[in-house]
Amino acid sequence: MQIDFISDTVCPWCFIGKRRLGRAMAMRPGIAFDVRYRPFFLDASVPPEGVDRGLYLAARFGADAKLDEAHAVIAAEGAKEGIAFDWAAIARTPSTVNSHRLIRWAETLGVQDDVVEKLFIAYFENGEDISDIRTLSDIADLCGMDGAEVADMLESDTDVATVKREDQVAREMGITGVPAMLFANKIAVSGAREPEVLAMVIDKALEMSGETGPESGGEDED
C-alpha cells in the first residue's frame, strides 16, 4: 500500500505523526507498505539563513506563557512516542528547502524513512540546524548516501523549484496543515492521529481498493 506522508521537517506534530504511523503499520504486518514523504512548507517566508527562533516564535505565536503551554502538550505527546523534544536546544528556525531536497533524493536510494527520522531527531532532540549543508551531508552519510555528492547538489539550486512546486500541489489538493497522509490514493487523514485510528484507515483503504490484508478487519475509519 502506498502512503503519501506530507510534512515539514520543523513540524513537531509531523515527528509525532511519523512515529504513530510506524506503529500503525506494525499492527498490520501482512501488508507491504510504500511510504513516500512529500514536502510542505509551514512558512515559506523563512530566509535561507534562517531566523532567531525566539524572535520568530514571539512574532508568530505571541505570549511566552501560551507558547510554553503548547510546548508542554507537544512534549507530553512526543514522550509517548519515545521523542525527547528539547526546545531550549533549538536556537534558530531554519528554512526547510534544503532538508526537503535531501528527502527527495533519498527516495531514489530507498532511504527516505531513515533520512526523515534523522532530520527530526537532529532538529527536535539535538537542536541542529537542518538547513546547514554540512549537517545535511552528515545525515546523508549516516543513511548510506554519498554525503559529498549531496553537499555539492545542495550548493546548487537542483530541485529547489521541484520541492516548491510539490508544496503548491499539496495546497491545491486542499492541504492547509501537516501532517497529512494519503492512503492508497483513497483516504486522506490530517493530523497526528493515534495508531489505532490509522490502522483502521489502512483497513478501509484496502477495502476501497478491493484488496484485503491478513490483519485487515474492514472496520470504518471512525
State mean pLDDT over 150-166: 98
Q: What is the pLDDT of residue 212?
A: 59
Report the b/e string of 47-84 with b at 16+ CB within 10 A: eeebbebeeebeeeeeeeeebeeeeeebbebbeebebe
Rounded CA-CA distance 71/36 in Å is: 28
State mean pLDDT over 133-137: 98
- For residue 213, being part of any structural domain is answered with no
Q: How many domains does the chain have?
A: 1
Q: What is the pLDDT of residue 209?
A: 86
Q: Record the pTM.
A: 0.92
- For residue 193, being part of any structural domain is answered with yes
- For residue 218, being part of any structural domain is answered with no
Q: Extract the C-alpha cell encoding 52.
A: 532567531
Q: Extract the C-alpha cell encoding 1.
A: 500500500
Q: What is the pLDDT of residue 222?
A: 35
pLDDT in tens, 69-101: 999 999 999 999 999 999 999 999 999 999 999
Rounded CA-CA distance 220/122 in Å is: 37
pLDDT in tens, 161-220: 999 999 999 999 999 999 999 999 999 999 999 999 999 999 999 999 886 554 434 334
Q: What is the pLDDT of residue 61?
A: 79
pLDDT in tens, 103-126: 999 999 999 999 999 999 999 999
Rounded CA-CA distance 28/120 in Å is: 25
Indicate which CATH number applies to the domain containing 132.
3.40.30.10
- For residue 222, being part of any structural domain is answered with no
- For residue 75, being part of any structural domain is answered with yes
- For residue 48, being part of any structural domain is answered with yes
Residues forming beta bridges with residue 6, ordered by sequence position: 38, 180
Rounded CA-CA distance 112/213 in Å is: 25
List the domain range (segments joined by +) for residue 107.
2-208
Average pLDDT, the chain: 93
Q: What DSSP element (H or E) covers 144?
A: none
Rounded CA-CA distance 98/136 in Å is: 8
- For residue 105, being part of any structural domain is answered with yes
- For residue 160, being part of any structural domain is answered with yes
10 Cβ partners below 8 Å, 6+ apart? 42, 93, 94, 96, 123, 130
pLDDT in tens, 21-53: 999 999 999 999 999 999 999 999 999 999 999
